[in-house]
Homo-oligomer: A and B are copies of this chain.
């Protein structure tokens, strides 16, 4: 029996979880603040209290997504180039709600500081050296980074929309390894 309390404990967390679940189940276009609050069992005004408005809620989810993605990519980095790509696809499959909202720019509060910082962190891994403005790295590395990013991002979308031919591996990690093998190894590093 769930204890009903006036103070939820961690309502912010619960709302973010609920909106991610709602997006996964019903799609990013159908999500509403009221429905999410209903799922959590709280008044919809409570959601407004935490996030301001709908864009605020979704922006917070997108920022969290970029943070988690960045953490996953950073953790994979020591294992090398390929494993970063594997981690990318893994993230998309494990967090489809976050992933959907991260790239749906028109739903987000655009000049949001937390979101921008989180974005910077995840793209720092994807575009190695993007942070070092002073001394840009080898242009060839840049195109290699974009190629890798494009490939894993597109692959993630393929997997999420169920468009991968069935002869290929079901497991996202194995699939990524097989598909990314068609990428030439980057010249340096």
Contacts and interface: CB of A to CB of B under 8 A. Distances in A.
Interface of A: 26-30, 103-107, 123, 127, 130, 136, 139, 142-144, 146-155, 157-158, 161, 163-165, 167-168, 178-184, 186
Q: How many copies does the complex hold?
A: 2
Residue of A144, A150, A164 with highest tally of chain B CB at under 10 A:
A150
Q: Across the A-B interface, give the 8 residue pairs with the lowest CB-CB distance, nearest first.
A: A27-B106, A154-B154, A150-B154, A153-B154, A147-B182, A150-B155, A151-B151, A147-B179
Contacts of A154: 149-155, 157
18 contacts: A28-B106, A142-B168, A143-B178, A143-B179, A146-B165, A146-B168, A147-B179, A149-B154, A149-B158, A150-B150, A150-B153, A150-B157, A151-B151, A152-B154, A153-B154, A153-B158, A154-B157, A182-B184
Contacts of A183: 147, 182-184
Nearest to A163: B123
A101 B142 CA distance: 30
